A and B are shown apart, each in its own frame.
Chain A
């Protein structure tokens, strides 16, 4: 690994910009993610900013069950993001279906639709858990695992 690529990986790890995608969650997970931005948790410590446009973002946080309606939108948003991009599945219903498990209109998990790099479980998730997932993810980015 050259010096330049080490520097680039370090910079990527220090500035993970987040895009929040809600497939139609019950909103609890979204609120907990929003809580990460508040003074108590302050995700900007890690250099993370909440971005509105997929073109600006590095990390896609998906909340809510992956419904048939949302599937195409998730894929489109994912494809609009520039490489390198990472996906975090936030909440039990995104990860495995949760309370919607086995429903006729949901998929069993986000990883059956797009590649996922980190999972956060909880219904709703705790802000600490989201921060933990982000910090594990940026550590792996810095090491060059993903």
Chain B
């Protein structure tokens, strides 16, 4: 029992996931800066590795302002629910073994539902702050969800179909028993669709339309400062971890790899982190080389090209598998 609690709280549970997600934010920011020929954060700790932690503590220690016009309930609870949802989602990731801390049949579906729910929370957060710009941002977030959600689901389902399992554990085990990763073969297109739509899910450039700084200040998060903003930033980092981990699990074999007797959890973790950092690097390069699109461009792109491609891929996968 005590081991189970430690597993949930420390490794590979909450503490480990939080630390890794802050580390991922650092990798993302540093690489992004290097791709732009800048240095990036570099004064907080060695190579600026403590930058996300410094940001977090600073935000947590700031004054807490609730605008008079805001909906108190939504303004208080959405920042708490957002990181909780994503942290709960991260518990499904198979980090230190072929199955996550929670592993049930169909947890892939639960993860997809959690991610959509997160967007709903963002919508509520934006509308709850009762600000014009936040309201525009929130509406854009919801509108964008209509565009990317179905291709994202279909891309992940393609992985599930080729592994013939809807649970992450089953997907990992199928890749171990086939001896090759799902990305080998037609699923490379699925992986590409996943990368594009996950970027939209995380509202990163070129899909950072809900937060477009130059047009609508900070989008849905415009009224959130201090510790509420800290929680939202934390949930973004957790989402980065969740989606890179999910991409690594479904398409790159997750924590599987050559094992040595006795060192399995350690090696599993190393493989998982290495593969998800690869996905993270792809995310970052994607973010660095594109500029922001308009909301109508995103919607027409995803409905005209991504969606038929994803449906075609499902059919191909169904025939091949």
Please give the residue numbers on chain A whose beta carbons come within 8 Å of chain B beta carbons, in ascending order. 7-8, 10-12, 14-15, 38-39, 42, 44-47, 51-53, 55-56, 58, 80-84
Do B63 and A15 touch across chains, with their CB atoms under 8 A apart? no
Please, how many angstroms separate the alpha-carbon atoms of A82 and B226 in the complex? 7
29 residue pairs bridging A and B, Cβ less than 8 Å apart:
A7-B57, A8-B57, A8-B58, A11-B61, A12-B58, A12-B61, A14-B54, A15-B44, A15-B55, A39-B36, A39-B37, A39-B38, A42-B38, A42-B39, A45-B38, A47-B55, A51-B218, A53-B217, A53-B218, A55-B222, A55-B229, A56-B221, A56-B224, A58-B58, A58-B62, A81-B225, A82-B225, A82-B226, A84-B62
Residues of B within 8 A of A45 (CB): 38-43, 48
Q: List, in ascending order, chain B residues with CB within 8 A of A56's CB.
A: 218, 221, 224-225, 229
Contact with A44, one of B38, B213, B226 (Cβ below 8 angstroms): B38
- Chain B residues 31-87 with CB under 8 Å of chain A are 33, 36-44, 48, 50-51, 53-55, 57-58, 61-65
B28 at the interface (CB under 8 A from A): no
Residue ranges of B at the interface with A (Cβ–Cβ < 8 Å): 29, 33, 36-44, 48, 50-51, 53-55, 57-58, 61-65, 213-214, 217-218, 221-226, 229
Instruction: Report the minimum CB–CB distance from B188 to chain A (whole Å).
Output: 34
Residues in B with CB closer than 8 Å to A8 are 57-58, 61
Contacts A12-B61, A82-B225: A42 and B217 contacting too (C-beta < 8 A)? no
Question: Do B43 and A11 have beta carbons less than 8 Å apart?
Answer: no
Chain A residue numbers with a CB within 8 Å of B221 are 53, 56
Flag if B33 contacts A42 (CB, 8 Å): yes
Complex contacts, B63 vs chain A, CB 8 Å: 82-84
A46 CA to B42 CA, complexed, in Å = 7
- What are the residues of chain A within 8 A of B222 when measuring CB–CB? 52-53, 55
Give the residue among A12, A38, A44, A46 with the most B Cβ atoms within 10 A: A44
